[in-house]
Amino acid sequence: MQGYPDAVGEIMVKKCATAGCHVDASKAAAGGLSLETWDKLFEGANNGSVVIPYRADNSWLCYFVNTYSDLGISLAPTMPVNGTKLTHDEVKLLQDWINNGAPSVNGNIAFHTDANRNKFYVTNQGCDVITVFDTKTKLAMRYIDVGVIPGNIEVPHDIKCSPDGKYLYVIFAAGSVIQKFNTTTDSLVGQIDISFGSWNTMTISPDGKYAFLVDFNSNSRIAYVDLENLTLVKMYSAATLFVNLHGITSTQDFKTLYVTSQYGNYILKIDVSNPLLPDFQTIVIAPGETANNNHDIYDPHQIELSPDETKYFVSCQSSNEVRVFQRNNDSLLKIIPVGVFPLEIEDSDKFPYLFVTCENDPTNNPQYVGSVYVINYQTLEVVKVLQNNFAKPHGIGVDDKNNLLIIPNRNINPTGPTPHHTSVCGGRNGYVQLVDLNTLEFIKNYKAEVSVDPYEVAIKY
């Protein structure tokens, strides 16, 4: 029945895809959703995917047809609008169908396993899940549960794909492990116990075998891990130097690390030519000062090397600037004023752009806050300020292959834009926006709602 299994089609086609409702002819007035066929269902709606295969709990189609407390979330308006509500058995049938992959009548499952599929991943800090997007359709295709403590929110914070794209790694701001996932199946491969901490950032070696992870506590640590054998190799600590360490980057030869001390005026330059015997050097980001941990003056958050590694860029979240340094002598090259509370930095290898999220940059509409500054990393000039209905953008992803800039919006302010729906975790859903790297213009009418507090992005080619 229009590509649906018969029992599902009896509901979707005969009760939902009716004249004036979720059909092609009237979908513009029905949230952009057509349910005429199984294929149309998986084209999504104005707010993105309505059904996530294998995850009825994250499929908001279920929320609007359910009126039974034992079957999970119920949201208004109840669908079908002005029609007879679905029975308990009908709602349960839809949920079971989705939890079994929401197959078509021929057994096809949307976004089936494909090792060559381009994807991007977004962490949801408030729900311990990762949203998996199919890059071609720009639709959410899966949700991955992360963390190890049932019932606890461990706050998935940073996320990275291995350089070969085969694996995904996740660390937690309130957790004790780094988890490794297969990016073809999005299934857990294993994890490394690194002890409890506020694990905020990581950098992975070009061969994908090792990583350094940063614990953002007042007595910070840096974990050196073997990603192939899933073992902790060494834990670095230094009481006077390791104070609220946060951002990290590494040279392409993986012999030098740069790490920011977020509540101070310095960064660390660490020689890890022999990672078992690291050598630490302090670089003060304000010439003439001595290293200190005086909060609310500069507060270097993140650091990024230019693609040619001649310069590095430091976002300073309290002074609202990006400081640029010459790498060969660690001298200050330029101070670039940016928006309020600059945080994450990502660059493009294809275009000469450095992108900086400014999470608290005000707008003319108090409902929205945040901007993304675009800096030419060759001329060190701001070329554009992106600001279009942001709600506290934090992380950012650059997809050079598909010419996309991916911007998650946390939307954690109570006065921010009202979400379309509630997630299984409660709280305020966030959303993802996209920018075309060719034009630096927003993808028109694209706003994909996801779970609570979307934070960081990883790209898989």
Summarised one tens digit per residue, pLDDT across range 330-366 is: 999 999 999 999 999 999 999 999 999 999 999 999 9
Q: Which pLDDT score, from 0 to 100, does residue 34 have?
A: 94
Q: What is the mean pLDDT of each run of 10 residues along the chain (461 residues)?
A: 94 87 82 94 95 97 96 93 93 98 98 94 98 98 96 97 99 99 98 99 99 98 99 96 98 99 98 98 97 96 98 99 99 99 99 99 96 99 98 99 99 95 90 99 97 98 95
Summarised one tens digit per residue, pLDDT across range 434-460 is: 999 999 999 999 999 999 999 999 999
**Domains of the chain as residue ranges with CATH:** 6-99 (no CATH), 187-456 (2.130.10.10)
**Helix (H), strand (E), coil (C) string for the chain:** CCCCCHHHHHHHHHHHCCCCCCCHHHHHHCCCCCCCCHHHHCCCECCECCCCCCCHHHCHHHHHHCCCHHHCCCCCCCCCCCCCCCCHHHHHHHHHHHHCCCCCCCCCCCCCCCCCCCEEEEEECCCCEEEEEECCCCEEEEEEECCCCCCCCCCEEEEEECCCCCEEEEEECCEEEEEEEECCCCEEEEEEEEEEECEEEEEECCCCCEEEEEECCCCCEEEEEECCCCEEEEEEECCCCCCCEEEEEECCCCCEEEEEECCCCEEEEEECCCCCCCEEEEEECCCCCCCCCCCCCCCEEEEEECCCCCEEEEEECCCCEEEEEECCCCEEEEEEECCCCEEEEEECCCCCEEEEEEEEEECCCCCCEEEEEEEECCCCEEEEEECCCCECECCCEEECCCCEEEEEECCCCCCCCCCCCCCCCCCCEEEEEEEECCCCEECCCCCEEEEECEEEEEEEC
